[in-house]
């Protein structure tokens, strides 16, 4: 859908009295962009006099400063939804939570009024659907929505949209960071306490549990290098996981930390599952502009998938054998890259 | 000096033929803002037809992409300077390197034409001196200088100024990040290859040597906690430093990593010197807007000093005794804070 048509339709709905009792939904295991964009959207609807709720599994406690959007107590509990809006969610099966009576996609889509996303592969069917894959975060689209609706920012909306953009860009570090991300942040800054988002940055980028730091330190102490340090592997087998009682969530991010080691072109974390199989997380040096190892291509060798620089797959066998397989696939991926240059 | 007067004087000097043969200087152990602001300034002078050189000790290899500014080969070696400009440097004793014949402050200041800085405590004596302490980086002042001189950005100047701003704000994470930092970054983005500074971010924020990561992991494994985890200490004594051959530079940043542990309000790294004494680096949760432990106040108890959230001091004795002393000072600093609320 064309951007301006979408904004016009959305703006029109704000003055439509039948557009009310709205559930805003985002994706499973909600991250900063899911939470931030959904909260900012819910808030915009409320500022426009609508009954609106961010309907989701409870996000991680670090998002508590935005919790008003998903707290149904303000309405004396849940209400029957008449409209759905999704943000940052590619499709039905990825929704964080479903209201009673909407377990089929068709039922759900009957009430689906607007879809906002920045993932190209969005599969929702909806008349008013805006997917802008050039945006670093769905939060940037919500930022534009505020502007288009003529609704000013305040401390809450600024915190929510900033959270969305900062987390999806790794605090402006990743390759998806563009002028538009910085421009949003510059404008939102004016509504941050003391003109600075330091408190939010501290929560998301400057705080780690001691357990998480200990896990990272275990990964470094037991790192296995291949091809002169171009590849690094760390194995968390069932016995080690049991010894330190490590959940899958606590292992997130370990692979990104290993990827930062100077000279590393691909990092792998092998996480043994209760089934005995290993879930493998892969992070590579791939960037669209500069090449590198494509993680999705590498994982495709083992029926896995993901993004160019971050992907995953599952493999069975002894860790040593799995490492050999992954090494071969990495070499093949490097060579196929070189061959095509 | 008033900002506009400074810019006017600088602009006038660009069309003055006697303003030539210029050395741009920055501070000792040059960091990203020192290197970035000096390189961008040198480049601006060259674009204006001046013979200009960034005169400095060779910066760390990670700044190699800006090396043209300090490479004197383009002039067949060093030339006799007729003008000095300093950037990001508080005073004479902090200069990275001095040209022959300028070892006295008075001699140096005779040729000092312009002083640019964002540290309030700047002590240079110079007619044309611009110190803007509200700027996150000296690079932001150079950004404004380009605008005022009507000189457009290109890939080199954008990379240099971005480096200055990104490194001094911890990639836009620190409390000094303001709307102006984001606005500079937004405009400079347009001159980055592919519209993204990812390659520069990777060098400064996504790359660590394996040795550095091993040192951090040692610090975590041997961390000592006090007051329910509010304080964390890590000791690198001479024998440990010798065993891992750890330099002072390699210990930089370890204290910031410890500071990130959830619940920590102050982190301390004790680095034994060849003299036997311990240099102590302190990082605290102090922010102007939100309070916390003031690191400078804490270190002042031991004749040390620094900034509100980052300071240092030196202490002699056994590590356990030093930790006790630091703990008492931290408690006293917390109490004095509470008392004044």
Q: Which of B136, B252, B63, B207 is nearest to A173 (CA)?
A: B207
The reported pLDDT for the residue numbered B307 is 82
Q: Which of A202, A199, A206, A168 is nearest to A184 (CA)?
A: A168
User: Cβ of B220 and A213 within 8 Å?
Assistant: yes
| Residue with the two structure tokens 């900034």 | B307
Spell out which residues of chain A touch residue B259, defining contact as CB-CB under 8 Å: 206
Residue A20 and residue A147 in contact, taking contact as beta carbons nearer than 8 Å: no
Tell me how crowded residue B28 is: count the other CB atoms within 10 A of its CB: 14
Residues A49 and A126 occupy one common structural domain:
yes
Residues A222 and A91 occupy one common structural domain:
no
Last residue within a domain, chosen from B178, B205, B232: B205
Count of domains for chain B: 2
- Give the ipTM of the model, two decimals please: 0.89
pLDDT band, very low/low/confident/very high, at A340 (cuts 50, 70, 90) = very low
Q: Does the pLDDT of residue A290 top 70, yes or no?
A: no
Residues B33 and B172 occupy one common structural domain:
yes
> Exposed, middle or buried: residue B175 (CB in 10 Å: 0-12, 13-18, 19+)?
buried
The reported pLDDT for the residue numbered B249 is 83
Residue A137 and residue A175 in contact, taking contact as beta carbons nearer than 8 Å: no
* Span A219-243, average pLDDT: 96
Higher pLDDT, A97 or B286: A97
A316 touches chain B (CB under 8 A): no
The reported pLDDT for the residue numbered B292 is 85
User: Cβ of B173 and A208 within 8 Å?
Assistant: no
User: Cβ of B221 and A217 within 8 Å?
Assistant: yes
* Span A327-332, average pLDDT: 95
Residues B222 and B175 occupy one common structural domain:
no
Residues B59 and B187 occupy one common structural domain:
yes
Instruction: Find the CATH number of the domain harbouring B95.
Output: 3.90.1640.10
Residues A182 and A101 occupy one common structural domain:
yes
DSSP reduced 3-state for B87: strand
Q: Does the pLDDT of residue A78 top 70, yes or no?
A: yes
* Span A261-272, average pLDDT: 96
Residues A259 and A294 occupy one common structural domain:
yes
Last residue within a domain, chosen from A178, A205, A232: A205
Task: Show the tokens assigned to A217.
Answer: 């330190």
Residues A334 and A269 occupy one common structural domain:
yes
The reported pLDDT for the residue numbered A172 is 97
Spell out which residues of chain B touch residue A180, defining contact as CB-CB under 8 Å: 186
Residue A2 to chain B, least CA–CA distance (Å): 24
Q: Does the pLDDT of residue A152 top 90, yes or no?
A: yes
Instruction: Find the CATH number of the domain harbouring A306.
Output: 3.10.310.30
Residues B18 and B59 occupy one common structural domain:
yes
Q: What is the DSSP string of B207-271?
A: -B-HHHHHHHHHHHHT-EEETTTTEEEEEE-HHHHHHHT--HHHHTTHHHHHHTBTT-SEEEEEE
CA distance B87 to B138: 7
Nearest chain B residue to A187 by CA distance is B179
A338 touches chain B (CB under 8 A): no
CA distance A23 to B69: 56
> How many residue pairs bridge chain A and chain B with CB atoms within 8 Å of each other?
137
Residue B81 and residue B23 in contact, taking contact as beta carbons nearer than 8 Å: yes
Q: Does the pLDDT of residue A305 top 90, yes or no?
A: no
Residues B123 and B243 occupy one common structural domain:
no
Q: Which of B180, B198, B267 to mutate to test the interface with A (most CBs of A within 10 A)?
A: B198
Secondary-structure breakdown of chain B: helix, strand, coil percentages, each rounded to the nearest 5? 45, 15, 35
Residues B184 and B304 occupy one common structural domain:
no
Residues B34 and B76 occupy one common structural domain:
yes
Last residue within a domain, chosen from B177, B205, B233: B205
CA distance B111 to B19: 11
- From first to last of its 341 residues, chain B has per-residue pLDDT tens of 678 899 999 999 999 999 999 999 999 989 999 999 999 999 999 999 999 999 999 999 999 999 999 999 999 999 999 999 999 999 999 999 999 999 999 999 999 999 999 999 899 999 999 999 999 999 999 999 999 999 999 999 999 999 999 999 999 999 899 999 999 999 999 999 989 999 999 999 999 999 999 999 999 999 999 999 999 999 999 999 999 899 988 998 899 999 999 999 999 999 999 999 999 999 998 876 667 899 999 999 999 988 888 899 999 999 999 999 999 999 998 876 554 43
Q: What domain range is B291 assigned to?
A: 210-340
């Amino acid at each position: 859908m064309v951007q301006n048509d979408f904004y016009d339709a959305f703006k029109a709905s704000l003055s439509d009295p039948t557009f009310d009792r709205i559930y805003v939904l985002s994706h499973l295991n909600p991250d900063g962009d899911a939470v931030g964009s959904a909260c900012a959207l819910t808030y915009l609807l409320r500022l426009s006099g609508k009954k609106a709720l961010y309907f989701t599994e409870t996000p991680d406690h670090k998002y508590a400063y935005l919790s008003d959007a998903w707290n149904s107590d303000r309405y004396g509990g849940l209400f029957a939804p008449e409209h759905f809006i999704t943000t940052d969610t590619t499709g039905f099966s990825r929704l964080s939570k479903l209201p009673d009576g909407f377990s089929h996609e068709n039922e759900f889509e009957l009430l689906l009024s607007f879809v906002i996303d920045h993932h190209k592969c969005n599969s929702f069917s909806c008349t008013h659907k805006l997917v802008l894959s050039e945006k670093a975060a769905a939060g940037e689209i919500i930022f534009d929505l505020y502007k288009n609706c003529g609704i000013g920012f305040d401390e809450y909306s600024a915190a929510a949209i900033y959270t969305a953009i900062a987390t999806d860009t790794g605090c402006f570090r990743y390759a998806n960071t563009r002028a538009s991300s910085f421009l949003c942040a510059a404008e939102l800054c004016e509504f941050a306490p003391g003109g600075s988002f330091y408190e939010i940055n501290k929560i998301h980028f400057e705080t780690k549990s001691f357990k998480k730091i200990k896990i990272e330190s275990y990964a470094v102490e037991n790192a296995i290098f291949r091809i002169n340090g171009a590849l690094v592997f760390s194995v968390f087998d069932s016995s080690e996981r049991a010894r330190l009682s490590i959940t899958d969530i606590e292992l997130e991010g370990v692979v990104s930390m290993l990827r930062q080691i100077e000279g590393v072109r691909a990092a792998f974390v092998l996480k043994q599952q209760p089934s005995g199989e290993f879930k493998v997380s892969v992070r590579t040096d791939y960037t669209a502009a500069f090449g590198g190892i494509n993680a999705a291509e590498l994982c495709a060798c083992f029926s896995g998938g993901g993004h160019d620089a971050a992907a995953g797959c599952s493999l069975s066998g002894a860790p040593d054998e799995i490492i050999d397989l992954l090494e071969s696939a990495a070499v093949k991926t490097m060579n196929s890259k070189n061959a095509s240059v």
